[in-house]
Amino acid sequence: MKMANQSVLAGFVLLGLSDQPKLEKTFFVLILSMYLVILLGNGVLILVTIHDSRLHTPMYFFLGNLSFLDICYTTSSIPLVLDGFLTPRKTISFSGCAVQMFLSFAMGATECVLLGMMAFDRYVAICNPLRYPVVMSKAAYVPMAASSWVAGGINSLVQISLAVQLPFCGDNIINHFTCEILAVLKLACADISINVISMGVANVIFLGVPVLFISISYIFILTTILKIPSAEGRRKAFSTCSAHLTVVVIFYGTILFMYAKPKSKDPLGADKQDVSDKLISLFYGVLTPMLNPIIYSLRNKDVKVAVKTLVRQKRFS
């Protein structure tokens, strides 16, 4: 325990791209630019969903939550990454690492649940439009969104509580840009089977169940759309859920790509793959939050009109 306590005091060293300093400046500019786009795009979406009364509906309430979540998710890690690109020795305290892991894990789990809630909203709107005002009343959709945040927070609290109880008495170098929980668990000098099992169960609940729920919802949605007699009616119906479907495909598609690709057995190839895995994980953390407001703005006429109205009001105020 003495050695474990020493690791707590010393904290961790984040390896990042320390072995490739020429890339660090390039990625600093690139990630900073993407982060600013995330703050601007999602910030504007939050503003329009609050200020435009036409967007005071369940779908846009969920969208506002998604935008706020994306800002929180990226802010929990990107400033640390940017600082790491400019700092020769990238260190983080044990408590700082725990907080960063908690926030990232909570935001990721919350987004999974929230995307499922948004799929249910689209299912009711298209498959049961007459019951939509009753089923998706404010008394229903506000607790639905709140439960997404609570579920994500509880899951993260469980996972991080198990992780911080482990003794870290060996190497304190994290081969990542941030305190990614799997990279941290590799440094523990104790059995992590409970952590692995717990994370496996959490993945089933927060990844598998929402994917299944979203898939079933869209089977019913597509079946209903195909029954609409007019082509214009089918187009309008599909346009109301196309943005959400696009976001879901990008979000889960990137996760599948990250974890399903084969590992290299060649030592040199493994080193290159380590860099590749870290960069993929980094861009996953910024690409989806950056694309979400762009997708919802380009594919949604109501949002485009609300943004233009907000810009005009700010210009003449």
Q: What is the CATH number of the domain that holds 186?
A: 1.20.1070.10
Sign of the CA dihedral 33, 36, 38, 40?
A: negative
Residue 211 lies in a domain: yes
- Separation between Cα atoms, residue 49 and residue 64, nearest integer Å: 6
Q: Which residues, in sequence order, are CB contacts of 107 under 8 Å at separation 6+? A: 69, 72, 73, 76, 152
Residue 178 lies in a domain: yes
What does the pLDDT average to over 90-104?
88
Pick the range with the lowest mean pLDDT from 93-102, 201-210, 294-303: 294-303
For the chain, the domain total comes to 1
By the 10 Å C-beta count (0-12 exposed, 13-18 middle, 19+ buried), 7 is classed as: buried
Residue 4 lies in a domain: no
User: Is a pLDDT exceeding 50 seen at residue 157?
Assistant: yes
Tokens of 75: 């802010």
Residue 250 lies in a domain: yes
Residue 308 lies in a domain: no
User: Is a pLDDT exceeding 70 seen at residue 8?
Assistant: no
CB 213 within 8 A of CB 121: no
Instruction: Provide the pLDDT for residue 5.
Output: 42
Q: 77 phi and psi, to 5 degrees?
A: -135, -35
Tell me the pLDDT tens digit for each residue of 34-61: 999 999 999 989 988 888 888 899 999 9
Residue 313 lies in a domain: no
What pTM did the predictor assign?
0.86
Tell me the pLDDT tens digit for each residue of 107-142: 989 999 999 999 999 999 999 999 999 999 999 999
Local confidence band at 269 (pLDDT 50, 70, 90 cut-offs): very low
Range of the domain at 242: 21-261+276-302
Instruction: Provide the pLDDT for residue 317.
Output: 61
Instruction: Provide the pLDDT for residue 117.
Output: 95
